[in-house]
Chains A and B, each alone.
Chain A
């Protein structure tokens, strides 16, 4: 029998960026918040021996234990969905901080075009730019409405950057800290893209350029450019993450209590309200009910959607009828790019997760799409994230994959190779969605989430176009051998691509085409909030975290308002 605990004002499911932001804001406002985290507590002291590529980047020590829970996957409805038995395509987080611990720190705001993608695309190109199978939807909020929340997130995280990109939205204030160091490698990209007539800018970074104290009094240290960001935690406290910012802020109020090893399996609902959540203590197997006035789903995209599905809250999307919104508009990202082999050795092993320069000349609707057979595009970036020797063995195409020639070439080229890559936006398609799997279960007996996903015609066209642009840039940079990436065919869940999964719990102006309103408040239960990249109606050509952070601040404001006045916020 489940043991029922004392009721709290707000319970969050997961304590990463979204759970941490919601906890900090609500706790500051005097609400009693309990955060249920399925993983363990951790912090900077646990990252002192983090410079270990094998343990963290290859064996995924910071990431989700798939033996307990994974998803199933198929490319289309006629294929049998099978479990993702090993991590590959995307790297799911676990423990305090979630994926916000091992992110790179690239912190772009989505474009004004993104939030009104349907209306702006139709206005410029008419209603038939894409076939009707693409389910373009406005987000129910504009960039200008979201701007104050972006600002708040950036000030909390101390984002470093420069406001010289003509294509992104207007900012109400400058970046909290100046851009990172412009290294010789970055200057090669800057000079090449300028020569081609583009507009390079320093990538907005959560690896902070100088010591910073945020408005909550949390201190973030300056980045040391050690080259161990992605897939690692930061031993300096120099990469903004929940455990050095919003979590201590929440704890300092005395109103926030994190509970670890607490795996939520159900959101409890009665009538048109939720009453709390049910969870297992993963160490003892004990079952608990945590009653709460407000429930906030702040786990990852996939798990937020799964919890709503197993709790039967909202209507499951059906690709046959087009009815239902839960699980709809699952999107991902594309990785068009070009590798260049150079003559001279470069300090490629130095770097930081978000050290880089980008251009947006081919992102969003920055250029005229009248003569191309796709919409949107990609940011194009040269990132100097620090390359490590197990993962990075670049060889020109004519070299075999092993043996004497491979050894020589991979060692020679390790310090002589750069890549320019795009982050390609993907558009929602009626056949790409999430539901519950009928066959496979997790360690707690709950069905696994089932993902049905494949690249579409729009994706293939966009990918090819951006690949060509990256090859032109690489040529201009002076590479002696320029190797553009291969065209995409079917989505493959094996090789790492991007941990930017989006959709499934979308936001919008109407319950007909979204799961939550623009405060991330569920249409069917006004004391339930669902926060994260699952709210995205499509995926943009950028990393998602800044937009997720802004949405979390928006949700926190909504939760505080709701706690005072009740009812729907829109």
Chain B
């Protein structure tokens, strides 16, 4: 996992460029990524050949964040929310930080399918999201705030803190004790927590849930064509998971 934490090697950078080209050729971001990552047998393109480099699944890169420190802060925060343990990998090993970064670069980050016209007013809690900020803006601000808070409390960057210190800061965000602009820290924390779970359990075509380990830990078989022959079984069925990318040919 060292590579994930240290960021991109030059070779990874070239591969990232390859993804971008694929997306243009494929005519759509998701279509392009899937086409690049997945072979006809449903295995990811670099299974095996890149395993020695410690990169799980397809090559990954940053599409939204611009510096390594931001990415490290995001990575460590997601790992505290969904840590590695005896059951299996945590957020970092599952690729969750890449998943979040990549989503922030697309419709999710720009709230493209949501009503973003003004005027904006705070509103009541029952009225839901009322900020003019996009998720991309909230994450950028929130990540910077995590670092700021770490420096104020411990005179260190967030990514350099020990686990307990990180938890203290995340808890302060969760309890809305940190001042943010245009959005509450509690809201940012909820977004971060939700995005972490999404990255752990979304189909691996989105660059999280590496090797479907999130699904395997949970006993969820992912995409299966049918359960019609086993649904009446009393016994719990352990089924090797499959990605939806296995449907492409």
Contacts and interface: CB of A to CB of B under 8 A. Distances in A.
B248 interface: yes
B229 to A, nearest CB: 9
B234 interface: yes
B46 to A, nearest CB: 22
B53 interface: no
A414 B215 CA distance: 11
A135 interface: no
Interface stretch (A50-58, A258-266, A327-335, A560-568): A50-58
Contacts of A464: none
A408 B87 contact: yes
Nearest to B206: A54
A389 B220 contact: yes
A411 B114 contact: no
B53 to A, nearest CB: 27
A182 B123 CA distance: 47
A482 to B, nearest CB: 22
Interface in A342-358: 344-347, 349-351
B35 interface: no
A82 B80 CA distance: 35
A415 B126 contact: no
Interface residues of B, number: 63
A48 B248 CA distance: 9
B228 A183 contact: no
Given A80-B121, A388-B220, A390-B201, 5 more contacts: A73-B127, A226-B226, A390-B198, A493-B126, A494-B129
Contacts, number: 173
Contacts of A53: 201-203
Contacts of B193: 401-402
Contacts of B116: 67, 85
Contact of B128 (A85, A404, A407, A440): A85
Interface of B: 30, 80-83, 85, 87, 90, 107-108, 111-117, 119, 121, 123-130, 167, 170, 174, 193, 196-198, 201-203, 205-206, 214-215, 217-228, 230-234, 236-237, 244, 247-248
Contacts of A83: 115, 117, 130
Contact of A407 (B30, B82, B130, B231): B82
A225 B197 CA distance: 25
A478 B234 CA distance: 16
B231 A347 contact: yes
B64 to A, nearest CB: 16
Contacts of A494: 125-126, 128-129
A269 to B, nearest CB: 29
Contacts of B117: 83, 440-441
A93 B226 CA distance: 26
A181 B115 CA distance: 42
A402 B81 CA distance: 5
A346 B219 CA distance: 10
A411 B218 contact: yes
A32 interface: no
Contacts of A69: 115
Interface string A274-305: 00000000000000000000000000000000
B83 A66 contact: no
Contacts of B225: 224, 226
A554 interface: no
Given A225-B227, A349-B220, A411-B87, A66 B203 contact: no
B153 to A, nearest CB: 19
A184 B232 contact: yes
Contacts of A408: 85, 87
Nearest to A83: B115
> For B114, B116, B125, which residue has the most chain A Cβ atoms within 10 angstroms?
B114
A75 interface: yes
A493 B248 contact: no
Nearest to B90: A407
A67 B203 contact: no
A49 interface: yes
B220 to A, nearest CB: 5
Contacts of B128: 84-86, 88, 492-494
B203 A54 contact: yes
Interface string A390-432: 1001000000011110111001001100000000000000000
Smallest CB-CB A-B distances: 4 pairs: A224-B226, A54-B202, A51-B223, A350-B227
Contacts of B197: 390, 393
B236 A344 contact: yes
B57 to A, nearest CB: 16
A146 B129 CA distance: 42
A411 B248 contact: no
A52 to B, nearest CB: 5
B234 A184 contact: yes
B66 to A, nearest CB: 24
Contact of A49 (B80, B198, B228, B248): B248
B67 to A, nearest CB: 26
Nearest to A494: B128
